């Protein structure tokens, strides 16, 4: 069994030499940078939990490729039970970190590329699937974190890739040789990129026959020459660089989004999994999106659990936990959160085996799951802010609370229930701020809206998959508009 400890994982990425820019400066030791380290800690939890016997059933799986025990984040789903355990694992890690733990996008990319390459080979006689199997064995044997890359910069959204003024608006092939391909372009909003060992790139959207150069999927290591990383800003992010531990909200964990630039990057053929097969771009995009929309029924629920807990704590700290309207609001938060979880479990339980052998979620229900995720976390956050009160956005800084002159006065007026330390209120208010409008809101709210496709993307899929004619036929039979042949006993 090849499983890394959290420390082994951190040692891995500490050794990597990459071109990273943040706040206009090149960063060398990013692992220990206060802006980055919380996200490293969150990713490290995916390794730590896999080493704990209590969570082995959901964190560990048996590889269908090697027969060895592997971290579930590197697993190819072999049953609906695997799909369900994936969602349970994601909820657990959301609870433990209170943020995006960044490893889901790679797991979802693995499964989509695995079954899509199989079908490409069947139709076109290519050899992508075996290449990808060898890549997956490498990933599993070394327990690697891999960032799935899909979203391009896209330029003018009214134009297709080939119509763009700058062809680099979408990642594309600029050269081929006997050794491999050279790619150029940029992938945006890449979650946990700096905390990964490898990058797995997929096309952004469905492509036409004359857009072969953009129909490309490949894998490269982060240290590959020509890749440039630019760290994305988040609300309240520089609090991580301040002294103290209260104002940051989440004391230990955080997320990370990166702009990833491919500046004429060479990819050897053994790492190329799609090269011009435009007829399979729709399949790859839809399958990846479906897996990732399923994921949100787990990870966002786990973070929601943390936010609900913070809201309950604030109600108790403020002495209002017994008020009927407060109880009702917290019940509503739980109802919305469990509804999201139910959707994640449902699309998993209704999954099915693909031609390649791994399991795919029910695509319609996965889109229903994500459509709910674009709404419910916002309402949960609104209710949390309602119960918390205005202090979570007006409270003085941690430094003011400890100031020799004004600190005692501030603490005097920030007492809630007399038996609750003022610092407890400070910490819980900052956590709610962090989750609903600070750095964690990137992963909990904005990512809920735009990650794995914006709301309209799910509505398009829902309209495509819902069989309205079947439903109309049911109504016509029940009403007598059509003959009901089911009544064969009459």
Active site residue 191: yes
Q: Which residues contact 107 (CB under 8 A, 6 or more apart)?
A: 72, 73, 74, 75, 86, 148, 291, 295
100 is catalytic: yes
Q: Which of 104, 149, 347, 369 is an active site residue?
A: 104
Which residue is it, tokens 């109504």?
475
Active site annotation includes 292: yes
Q: Is 119 a catalytic residue?
A: no
CA separation for the pair 88, 95 (Å, rounded): 11
Q: Which string of b and e fits 275-310 if b means at least 16 CB within 10 Å? A: bbbbebbebbbbbbbbbbbbbbbbbbbbbbbbbbeb
Q: Tell which residue, 21, 5, 30, has the closest CA to residue 240.
A: 30
Assess contact for 38 and 253: CB atoms under 8 A: yes
Q: Give the DSSP H/E element, type plus range, for residue 259.
A: strand 257-268
Exactly one of 99, 186, 299, 369 is catalytic; name it.
299
- Token pair belonging to 271: 């790492």
The answer to whether residues 61 and 69 touch, using CB atoms and an 8 Å cutoff, is yes
Catalytic residue, candidates 80, 97, 116, 191: 191
Residue 343 appears among annotated catalytic residues: no
Give the pair of three-digit tokens for residue 376. 């419910």
Q: At what angle do helices 80-97 and 324-349 cross, to 10 degrees?
A: 150
Residue 108, both tokens: 């979802």
The active-site residue out of 119, 213, 257, 433 is 257
Instruction: Give the dihedral sign, CA 333/334/340/343.
Output: negative
- Provide CB contacts within 8 A for 28, sequence distance 6+: none
The continuous run of DSSP H or E covering 135 comes out as: helix 128-141
**Per the residue annotation, which of 296, 317, 341, 444 is the catalytic one?**
296
Selecting among 99, 100, 149, 347, the annotated active-site residue is 100
Residues 342, 336: contact at Cβ < 8 Å?
A: no
Residue 231 annotated in active site: no
Told to judge if 149 belongs to the known catalytic residues of this protein, a careful annotator would answer no
> Phi/psi of residue 24, each to 5°?
80, 10
Taking alpha carbons only, the member of 99, 76, 78, 104 closest to residue 89 is 104
Q: Closest by alpha carbon to 465, among 278, 337, 293? A: 293
Q: CA triplet 197, 200, 206: central angle to 5 degrees?
A: 160
Which one is catalytic: 116, 260, 292, 311?
A: 292
Locate all alpha helices (DSSP H) within 194-280, ordered by sequence. Answer: none
Enzyme catalytic residues: 100, 104, 191, 257, 292, 296, 299, 447
């Amino acid at each position: 069994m090849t499983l890394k400890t959290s420390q082994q994982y951190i040692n891995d990425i500490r050794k990597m030499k990459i071109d990273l820019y943040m706040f206009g400066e090149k960063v060398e030791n990013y692992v220990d940078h206060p802006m980055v380290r919380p996200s490293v800690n969150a990713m490290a939890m995916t390794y730590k939990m896999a080493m704990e016997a209590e969570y082995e059933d959901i964190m560990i799986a048996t590889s269908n490729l090697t027969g060895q025990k592997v971290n579930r984040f590197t697993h190819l789903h072999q049953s609906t039970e695997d799909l369900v355990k994936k969602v349970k694992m994601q909820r657990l890690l959301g609870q433990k970190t209170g943020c995006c733990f960044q490893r889901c996008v790679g797991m979802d990319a693995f499964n989509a590329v695995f079954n899509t390459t199989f079908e490409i080979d069947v139709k076109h006689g290519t050899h992508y699937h075996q290449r990808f199997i060898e890549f997956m064995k490498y990933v599993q044997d070394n327990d690697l974190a891999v960032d799935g890359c899909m979203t391009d910069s896209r330029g003018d959204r009214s134009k297709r890739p080939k119509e763009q003024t700058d062809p680099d608006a979408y990642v594309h092939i600029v050269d081929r040789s006997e050794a491999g391909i050279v790619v150029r372009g940029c992938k945006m909003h890449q979650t946990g990129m700096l905390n990964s060992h490898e990058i797995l790139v997929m096309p952004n959207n469905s492509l036409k026959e004359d857009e072969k150069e953009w129909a490309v999927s490949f894998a490269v290591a982060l240290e590959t020459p020509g890749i440039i990383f630019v760290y994305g800003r988040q609300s309240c992010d520089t609090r991580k660089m301040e002294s103290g531990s209260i104002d940051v909200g989440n004391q230990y964990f955080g997320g990370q989004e990166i702009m990833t630039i491919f500046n004429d990057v060479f990819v050897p053929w053994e790492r190329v999994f799609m090269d011009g097969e435009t007829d399979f771009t729709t399949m790859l995009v839809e399958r990846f999106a479906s897996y990732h929309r399923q994921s949100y029924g787990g990870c966002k629920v786990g973070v929601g659990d943390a936010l609900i807990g913070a809201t309950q704590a604030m109600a108790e700290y403020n002495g209002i936990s017994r008020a009927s309207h407060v109880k009702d609001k917290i019940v509503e938060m739980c109802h919305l959160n469990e509804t999201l979880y139910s959707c994640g479990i449902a699309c998993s339980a209704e999954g099915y085996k693909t031609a390649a052998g791994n399991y795919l979620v029910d695509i319609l229900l996965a889109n229903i799951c994500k459509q709910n995720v674009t709404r419910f976390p916002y309402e949960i956050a609104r209710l949390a802010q309602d119960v918390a009160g205005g202090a979570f956005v007006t409270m003085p800084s941690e430094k003011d609370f400890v100031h020799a002159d004004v600190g005692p006065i501030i603490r005097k007026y920030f007492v809630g229930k007399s038996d609750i330390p003022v610092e407890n209120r400070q910490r819980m208010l900052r956590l709610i701020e962090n989750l609903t409008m600070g750095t964690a809101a990137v992963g909990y709210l904005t990512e809920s809206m735009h990650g794995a496709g914006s709301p309209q993307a799910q509505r398009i899929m829902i309209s495509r998959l819902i069989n309205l004619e079947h439903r109309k036929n049911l109504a016509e039979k029940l009403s007598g508009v059509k003959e009901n042949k089911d009544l064969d006993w009459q």
